[in-house]
Structure 1
Amino acid sequence: MSGRLRLVIFDVDGTLVDSQHDILAAMRAGFDVVGEEAPAREAILGIVGLSLDVAVARLAPGLSEAARRRIVEGYKDAYTALRAGQGVALSSPLYPQARETLDALRGVPELLLGVATGKSARGLAKLVEGHLLDGYFVTRQVADHHPSKPHPAMLHAALAETGVDPRDAVMVGDTSYDMDMARAAGIAGIGVTWGYHRAEALTGAARLVGDFDALATALTQDWGAWR
């Protein structure tokens, strides 16, 4: 690697942590609030990564705005209760080798780590605290402050905060929204295939990786090979 600073921006749900159990349960609880049957598992996981209001609008386009707001609040209440009852480590466990990879990347002087997520600031803070990841991410971009993915605002803010050039940044995520956001921001995207969207949906990715070892190699030894 060269001496220039490089920025690796991670998605969270489906990329670093496997939160699908609580996402599914909370969404079903939200729909139950308005007396509606929740969409199928595949449909719910298909909207992971979007801001919650946008996600619910996609899942329930035929419901009124007031009903969708009640689903959003029901989801938030259920998700908070699930997390409180189990603790973050069980509620949203890190994928195997995620911590080891973050530790290794954090040890590379030229690499800065960041996050761009559809989570709220509070939700991300709880996750970081629960997994003892405080100090790992120099920039944290969340749904509270930006339009939903795939709008590039989160990535633009991350680049501005760190002073890194787009050519020296990469977005790592498991959904088409992450890859579309990266493309819109003019940075490369690495698609991970262990998350919530099928590999074939990750169009536009500069590279696909199937495990954290391959991701670490792509971000360190092979940086110039896939860009």
Structure 2
Amino acid sequence: MRTTLAAVATCATGRRVRPGDLPPDALRRPRCEVLALLGVADPDDACDRWWDGAASATAVHTFPGVLSGLLALRLQGTAVGAVTVQDPDRVRWLLPEALAELLEVVITRQDAPPKPAPDGLHLALTRLDVTPRRAIFVGDSPGDMTAARAAGVIALAAAWGWHPPAALREAGADHLLPDPTSHLPPIDSA
């Protein structure tokens, strides 16, 4: 219940609200009263829009090795971002906090046409000030591979996702990453 309240407040306010931000007696108060205390302008509307989705979502965890890999990239000065087909309200509570903190830019379907169009990747590259030939895009779907190729970036397929490696290769993957701890190929340094 506390996690669901925090997720709904996050979606409604546009800022991350954690279960620890709730008042100590949150579970003894009506949910709309708690949401109002958290700064939600229209708690009834917020519950109508996000309650069911937030309540049914299980805790989201990253694959082992993803956070440490992204942190290593950031520590060496590599720009890191995400391009997703999710909408921004869902992304705010869907991304684990530790992952969200490592991302310098997050492009959603409201920022640019969704993948397989390359527009979101182009926007991310612009915001990160990175040229396509110095970029890698890791994705787990054929649409991700198509978008990466169309954007002119190296397409790395997360072979541990939902799609079989053959489908990812057929869609244009330059390399397959067998698991989240796989090492990335070198990028053109010129």
TM-score range, shorter chain: 0.5 to 0.7
Q: Which has the larger radius of gyration?
A: 2
Return closer, same or farther for 1:223/1:75 CA change in 2, 3 Å cut-off: farther
Secondary structure, aligned partner of 2:138: strand
> Which residue does the alignment assign to 2:65?
97
| Gapped regions of structure 1 (runs ≥ 5) | 1-73
> Which residue does the alignment assign to 1:194?
160
1:124 aligns with one of 88, 91, 113: 91
Higher relative contact order (CA 8 A, sep 6+): 1
> Which residue does the alignment assign to 2:119?
153
CA offsets per residue over residues 109-137 of structure 1, 9 Å max, x none? 2x110000111111112133x43334311
> Which residue does the alignment assign to 1:20?
none
CA offsets per residue over residues 82-133 of structure 1, 9 Å max, x none? 13xx4xxx2x221122222222222112x110000111111112133x4333
- Aligned partners of 1:105, 1:125: CA distance in 2, in Å? 23
Q: How far off is 1:77 after superposition?
A: 6.1
Matches within 5 A, 1:56-67: none
- Aligned partners of 2:177, 2:99: CA distance in 1, in Å? 23
- Aligned partners of 2:150, 2:86: CA distance in 1, in Å? 20
Partner AA of 2:186 in structure 1: W
Return closer, same or farther for 1:101/1:143 CA change in 2, 3 Å cut-off: same
Return closer, same or farther for 1:77/1:199 CA change in 2, 3 Å cut-off: farther
Secondary structure, aligned partner of 2:150: helix
Return closer, same or farther for 1:168/1:105 CA change in 2, 3 Å cut-off: same
CA offsets per residue over residues 33-77 of structure 1, 9 Å max, x none? xxxxxxxxxxxxxxxxxxxxxxxxxxxxxxxxxxxxxxxxx9976
**Structure 1 moving runs of 4+ over 2 Å:** 74-81, 130-135
- Aligned partners of 1:208, 1:201: CA distance in 2, in Å? 11
Q: How far off is 1:224 after superposition?
A: 4.4
| Gapped regions of structure 2 (runs ≥ 5) | 1-47
When normalised by structure 2's length, the TM-score is 0.66
The number of residues matched between the two structures is: 139
Q: CA RMSD in A?
A: 2.2
Q: Would you say 1:212 and 2:180 are equivalent positions? A: yes
Q: How far off is 1:81 after superposition?
A: 2.5
**Percent of aligned positions that are identical:** 29
Return closer, same or farther for 1:76/1:189 CA change in 2, 3 Å cut-off: farther
Secondary structure, aligned partner of 1:112: coil
Contact 2:83–2:108 under 8 Å retained in 1: yes
